[in-house]
Amino acid sequence: MDHFLYRDGALFAEDVPISEIAAAVGTPFYVYSTATLLRHFKLFDDALEGTDHLVCYAMKAASNQAILKTLAQAGAGMDVVSGGEYLRAKAAGVPGDKIVFSGVGKTADEIRTALTGGIRQFNVESEPEMEVINAVALELGVIAPITVRVNPDVDAKTHAKIATGKSENKFGIPISRASEVYARAASLPGLEVIGIDVHIGSQLTELEPFELAYNKVAELTERLRAEGHNIRRLDLGGGLGIPYNRSNDAPPLPVEYGAMIQKTLGHLGCEIEIEPGRLIAGNAGLMVSKVIYVKSGEDRDFLILDGAMNDLIRPAMYEAHHDIVAVQEPEPGVERQPYDIVGPVCETGDTFAKQRNMPPLAPGDLVAFRSAGAYGAVMSSEYNTRPLIPEVLVNGDQFAVIRERPSFDEIINRDTIPEWL
């Protein structure tokens, strides 16, 4: 469920007409719903009720500080994967003891920043990283809390580019080597081993892969405890999918996911961390774009929009589906026709959808890409010297621009011409 609904034939974000925002900020733009963000966070928090837990929002999904502050005020922790994300979370007012640092390539400088500013834990991905964290912690005279990310070799049954839990993926250590790696961690004086981390992928639409992985984590927890390690926290990652195509079956609900966690891991008495990103932010955001031209080709018609692949790269990068709707609701029974929906960038890959049935549209009409709140604005670029598009946050009948569109002068003036030119 989201809070983007038609009223009297017009698409609204909560209590604000989309057309009103378009008139104020221009197109294209991203718009997020506060009510949807909070509702989806609460679904996860409620799903783990009765269990010692923390829901850490995976901020790589959408990292505007206004979004982070909204979720932090509701009680969320943050999962970060870079020093920049760590500093962004801190700037949004998130305390260090609610920030988890993941990622395979943490640098010594990033580790130093987090240890200085406060950190809940590092999710360690390799033995060389473990040695660097130990060295930096000793240099600073502190103890670094860590979990070790294990790779359970489970097929997440998702897109190959977002699967992370198979043996050929770059993430974590093989679960078969866990005893050896944990023994090494325990011997390093700058580290405190507190738990286990696992994350098998993103946009999972079934619970079975999670269950297979979590059963392996349960077995590993008991084995490591028998070997003398105080395993008291399990970081289970994120990855629960959202219904990008609303005509298909919906993925499992957070309450079903929570019940499965309780069934597989509840007997261990561990604190549970989960790191949802997409399911919190995905359906909380739209990208709104305007039709520039309607073009007739030899065997197909094209809707050419002012939004492009640099603004929303998921269809080009992942062959991802987004429902695309007219901001002005079509009349009941209106005849639809197939269009290729494309942007203006000089790439054939700048295609959002092929042969998508749409109501009649004309230049100047607005369309909205649903489920664009996650991995939309954060993955955008200025390719073709196209400015990053505004982000807007709605709260009831109010809206605010939370990222401005830069001017062409601001973009161009970032370049520096060498003196020899």
Whole-number Å distance between alpha carbons of 146 and 137? 12
Q: Which residues pair with 271 in a beta bridge?
A: 233
- Residues classed as catalytic: 346
> Are 217 and 234 contacting, i.e. CB atoms less than 8 angstroms apart?
yes
CA distances 167 to 11, 127, 151, 215, Å, are 45, 16, 7, 17
Dist CA 189 CA 345 (whole Å):
54
Distance between CA 179 and CA 289 in Å, rounded?
Answer: 53
> Quick one: which H or E segment has residue 136?
helix 127-140
- Phi and psi at 420, nearest 5°, equal -75, -5
Give the long-range contacts of residues 343-349, CB within 8 A, separation 24 or more: 343/304, 343/305, 343/306, 343/307, 343/308, 343/309, 343/311, 344/292, 344/304, 344/305, 344/306, 344/308, 345/308, 345/309, 345/310, 345/383, 345/384, 345/386, 346/384, 347/309, 347/316, 349/309, 349/316
